[in-house]
Homo-oligomer: A and B are copies of this chain.
Amino acid sequence: MTEKCIKALKMRGVSVDDIIDIVLMLQSPYIDDLSREEIEEDIFEILAKREVYHTVMTGIAIDIAVEENKLFDQEIMDSMRGDYGLFGVDEVLAYGICNLYGSIALTNFGYVDKMKPGIIGVVNDDLTRVNTFLDDIIGAIAASAASKLAHTHKKEIKKVVMMKKRGTK
C-alpha cells in the first residue's frame, strides 16, 4: 500500500522528499541530528496503514474527479474547486489520518494547515489543478510523522523545552 500511495502522490506532483522537508521544519527545533532516513521510514510506516492508504487514495480520487468534472453535482464540485477553508470535508479526511497518531499529530496538522509550508503552499497555490484534498493529505502525513518522532525522541524533547523555558525567564 505504501508504494501505491507514493505513486499516486508523485502523479499529483508530491514526492516523499517534499513531505520530509515539512517534517524537518516541524521537528528539527526539538530534536537534534534528525535524519531524513528516520523520517522517511516513519512516513513509509504511516502509508502502510490500511486506513491511511484508503484516505490518501480517496482524497486524490475526488480531486481528480472534480478536475475532470465527473461528479454528479455541479454545485458541490464548485465548492470543492473554490476551497477557501470553508468546505471542511478535506480537513475531516485529514483528521481521519491524524487521529491515528494522537494529539500531537492533530496540533501539528492545524499548524501546517495555517502556515502552508513547502509543498503544501505550492500545491495550494497551483490554480491549474484541483488540489483541495491533496494539500490536507500531505499535511496530515507530515503531522503524523512529526507525532511519531516526538514520541520516539521523548527525552530529547523534554530537555529542549525545559531549556527554552529557562531561557525565556
Query: A157 near B86 (CB under 8 angstroms)?
Result: yes
A150 CB-CB contact with B under 8 Å: yes
- Pick from A73, A75, A80, A106 the residue with the most CB of B within 10 Å: A106
Chain B nearest CB: distance from A3 CB in Å?
A: 12
**Can you list 9 A-B contacts with CB-CB less than 8 angstroms, sorted by A residue number?**
A54-B88, A82-B158, A85-B150, A88-B103, A92-B92, A110-B111, A111-B113, A125-B169, A127-B165
Q: How far is the CA of A161 from the CA of B82 in the complex (A)?
A: 10
Residues of B within 8 A of A93 (CB): 89, 92-93
Chain B nearest CB: distance from A116 CB in Å?
A: 11
- Number of A interface residues, CB 8 Å? 60
Residues of B within 8 A of A72 (CB): 60-61, 64-65
Q: How many copies does the complex hold?
A: 4
Residue-by-residue, is A103-120 near B (CB-CB < 8 Å gives 1, otherwise 0)?
110111111011100000
Residues of B within 8 A of A75 (CB): 4, 57
Residues of B within 8 A of A111 (CB): 110-111, 113-115
Chain B nearest CB: distance from A108 CB in Å?
A: 7
Q: How far is the CA of A111 from the CA of B143 in the complex (A)?
A: 12
